[in-house]
Amino acid sequence: MADGGPIQLRLRGSPQEIGLEHGRALRDQIRSQISIYEEMFEYTSKLSWQAVREVAKEFQPVLQKLTPHLFAEMEGIAEGAELDVLDIVALNCRSEIALGKFSDGCTTLCWKKSDNARVLSQNWDWTARVKKNLAMVSIEQPGKPTIYMITEAGIVGKIGFNSATVGTCLNAIRANPMISSKLPIHVALRLCLESTSVANAVNTLETLGGVASAQHILVADSTTALGLELSPVGDKHIPEDASGLIGHTNHFIENRFVEEPPWLSGSPIRLKRLGQLTSELIASGVKGDAITPSLLRERIFSDTFNAPQAICCREDESRHISTRSSSLFNIIMNLDPQNLGAEVVWGRLGSGEEGPVLKMPW
């Protein structure tokens, strides 16, 4: 962690080589993640780390069968970090093993700039203790687009974009059931980031049988955006509205296939607020090239309405430390083949403690 910013890591080669370098470079951060999640699982789910590994064992044959290249990468991570592969599988299945009992937040937004450009963005809200274990990672693989993403140490897929202009954002959803014969959500994110288009990403997930837990992936390329309200028992896809927008928080908008008890009371409020703020910008004439990262940071992602459960989330100190969330970074991706890239700000926007604007690729 240099100057309070993220680790930057370039990975290339075969799945085993990518994993091995990941594990070696982030060995300390991976071990820290395991320690943090061990405590979180114990508090939220009454599961010891050994019990977590037993649940992870259910996913091992699924990964070996459906995504053997990503299981090989996890084996490489484990070897590089000098850990058992089940520790790495557990990190990559942490959303499924927790059965939605973690308190992830996150607000996501995609905005059409033109027929051939989309702006994909989000605040990522999670426990502040993992911030030191996040990394900006590039991955070069033969025959696939180059990936640029922000991920947790030890996890093979998360939030970012690729050289084919495909980008991903994530909203956690708390809903039953979880089916361990399907894809963990972080593996699904990686598969999207290996895709050449939104249609290719959707087809890959469907061909492999769908995801193991209820989650929302906002996926876009330069010409298309879809809100994928995914679950192991049925999916719903949300297209862009008449203004070229898709916004999402931490509850399903259209998916009624799952049992989804209320859990984050601020989620519907954040979604409504997101709609209000974007409507105000549209009414003021914002469109096209005026949809800039600085505008989105200042007018949307730094918003503190309904704090602490705001778009720019801060910790609720009345909660146990294992269930406190705050906005750890903001990312705004320009999915334009003529000007592809992203801006990332580490920390809560508008807090006075956020870092400088970082570029991806770097």
Return the amino acid letter for 22: H
- Say how far residue 205 (Cα) sits from the centre of its chain: 16
Rg over CA atoms, the chain: 19
Domain boundary among 52, 77, 97: 97
* CATH number, domain with residue 340: 3.60.60.10
Range of the domain at 66: 7-97
CA distance 19 to 300: 36
* pLDDT in the model for residue 5: 78
Question: For 110-140, b where at least 16 C-beta lie within 10 A, e where not — what string?
Answer: bbbbeeebbbbbbbbbbbbbbbbbbbbbbbe
Contact yes or no for 111/306 (Cβ under 8 A):
no
Q: What is the DSSP letter of 146?
A: P
Do 87 and 195 lie in a common domain? no
pLDDT by residue for the chain (362 residues), tens digit each? 344 679 999 999 999 999 999 999 999 999 999 999 999 999 888 899 999 999 999 999 999 999 999 999 999 999 999 999 999 999 999 999 876 556 567 999 999 999 999 999 999 999 999 999 999 999 999 999 999 999 999 999 999 999 999 999 999 998 989 999 999 999 999 999 999 999 999 999 999 999 999 999 999 999 999 999 999 999 999 999 999 999 999 999 999 999 888 778 899 999 999 999 999 999 999 999 999 999 999 999 999 999 999 999 998 887 777 778 899 999 999 999 999 999 999 999 999 989 999 999 99
Same domain for 305 and 275: yes
* CATH, residue 91: 1.10.10
Distance between CA atoms of 37 and 111, rounded to whole angstroms? Answer: 34
Q: State the burial class of residue 206 (Cβ atoms within 10 Å of its Cβ: 0-12, 13-18, 19+).
A: exposed
159-162 sheet: strands from edge to edge: 7-12, 134-140, 147-152, 159-162, 167-172, 215-220, 225-230, 236-239
- Tell which residue, 87, 102, 73, has the closest CA to residue 32: 87
Integer distance in angstroms from the first to the last C-alpha of the chain? 16
- Distance between CA atoms of 126 and 40, rounded to whole angstroms? 12
Question: Are 75 and 198 part of one and the same domain?
Answer: no
Same domain, yes or no, for 280 and 148?
Answer: yes
Report whether 72 contacts 64 (CB < 8 A): no
Quick check: helix, strand or coil at residue 236? Answer: strand
Q: How many domains does the chain have?
A: 2
Domain boundary (79, 97, 115) is at: 97
Q: Contacts by 230-238 with C-beta closer than 8 Å and gap 24+?
A: 230/185, 230/188, 230/205, 230/255, 231/173, 231/175, 231/255, 231/257, 231/258, 232/177, 232/178, 232/179, 232/182, 233/177, 233/179, 233/257, 233/258, 234/258, 235/210, 237/202
Residue 81 within any structural domain of the chain: yes
Q: Say whether both 239 and 173 belong to one domain.
A: yes
What does DSSP say about strands 326-335 and 341-346: parallel, antiparallel, or unpaired? antiparallel
Q: Is the pTM of this model over 0.95?
A: yes
Q: Does any domain span residue 2?
A: no
Q: What pLDDT score was predicted for residue 3?
A: 47
Q: Does residue 346 fall inside a structural domain?
A: yes
Based on the fold, state whether residues 65 and 132 are members of the same structural domain. Answer: no
Same-domain pairing of 206 and 334? yes
Beta bridge partners, 331, equal: 122, 344
* Closest by CA position to 273, among listed 236, 301, 245: 301
Q: Is residue 1 in a domain?
A: no
**Rounded distance, CA 181 to CA 61, Å?**
9
- What is the token pair recorded at 361? 């690729």
- CA–CA dist 258, 256 (Å, integer): 6
Instruction: Please say whether the beta carbons of 249 and 274 come within 8 A.
Output: yes
